[in-house]
Amino acid sequence: MSVGRFVQQAKQCLKKQAEYSKLNAFVLPITLHESLLQRCQDADDRQVNGGPLSPIDGQLVAIKENICTLHERTTCASAILQGYQSPFSATVVEKLTAAGAVLAGKTNLDEFGMGSHSLNSIHGPVKSSWSEPGEDRTVGGSSGGSALAVGTQQCFAALGTDTGGSVRLPAAWTGTVGFKPSYGMVSRYGVVAYANSLDTVGVMARDVAAANQVYDQIRGHDPHDPTSLPPSSLSRIQTHLQQSSRNPHKIRIGIPIEYLVSELDPTIRTAWSLALHSLHKQGHAIHHISLPTTKSALSAYYVLASAEASSNLAKYDGVRYGNKAPPSSSYSTDNNQPRGEGRSVLFSRTRGAHFGAEVQRRILLGSYTLSSTAIDNYFI
């Protein structure tokens, strides 16, 4: 039997995974290669018989490790969830599977998605393939594992999550395409929350066409997710898109003037200008607009995200959720009575031992902004 296209592509991806394993993009690479290749062979058979399940049927897609999968661990790169296995798969994973996509493994990240360099992980940092001797380079974060996996051709595409740039940033630093859909377009059901009002599942791929193919399969209403846009809203959006795309060769593009910050590197500024010139040359209308609150966006993000994170992570206490810290040495083994000044309780001992430094900082910041003494300074 001849080897089909998807089987060949999968073998190349598995070869790349082995070649780049020290870069730590994958925390849970696929170990059952025969099962993976069989699913790719099934996709090849469907192609021959004229019945592919979707445009991504047979393609390898990696999943960020804060997105639940039924048969693989989901630790969010945190010691407090080490060994945790979800009893269900996230909606986006189920949709990919139904479309014929093949799970390529789970990718590394900053703990609970909190970070910009993919360094804060119990699995170790994600290392850049573009580093040079004596000069370590970052892949960005927090979806750095997904970005690197795509950029080094270890998979066809990957899912990440974006709260404040965690898909777009690593994509920019690895030469890949990172797409963050509008909030509510893609289900968050089965995605471990960092900041509910900001978290969004995004797509990382080698080019725009591939990103669009994956996005088309995961978008849509999900009754399990209360923040998912209802069918009526999705219908209105689709109608508007159809009306506005009657002439796709000429569209209006808004360029926020606040994005051209003085700190922008000259090479990036040049690339920006060349991109605008190319769009104008293609017949698109370029309009400079102003988004005056842009300068406040980062400050607002840290207040809102940290406040929501402190609330979301409160449940990880070793009793309701998460691994429990070992007994404190400050307690007597005879009668369980405190010795000296070590009066730590289970909750604080567990959270102090199992949350990383960055996560602890954001919990503290969020707890402070929500406190009765400070809340009036940040919220109206």
Q: Which amino acids are annotated catalytic?
A: 64, 142, 166
Residue type, 214: V
If you write DSSP's letter for every residue of 242-293 in order, what string do you get? HHHTSSTTS-EEEEEGGGS-TT--HHHHHHHHHHHHHHHHTTPEEEEE--TT
* Tokens standing for residue 356: 């990383």
End-to-end CA distance of the chain: 68
Is there a cis peptide before residue 142, judged by omega within 30 degrees of 0? yes
CB count, 10 Å around CB of 167? 30
Distance CA 177, CA 137 (A): 19
Mark out the alpha helices in 115-246 (DSSP H runs): 144-151, 168-174, 208-218, 231-244
As beta bridge partners, residue 254 has 287
Q: Are 201 and 187 in contact (CB under 8 A)?
A: yes
Are 363 and 313 in contact by the 8 Å Cβ rule? The answer is: yes
What is the DSSP code (8-state) at residue 112?
G
**Helix (H), strand (E) at residue 29:** strand 26-29
Maximal C-alpha separation, the chain: 81
| Residue in 137, 142, 210 with CA at minimum distance from that of residue 171 | 142
Q: Name the DSSP class of 379.
A: -
DSSP 162-177: ESSSTTHHHHHHHT-E
Which residues make Cβ contacts (< 8 Å) with residue 80, sequence separation at least 6? 316, 318, 321, 322, 323, 350, 351, 354, 355
For 64, the enclosing helix (H) or strand (E) is: strand 60-64
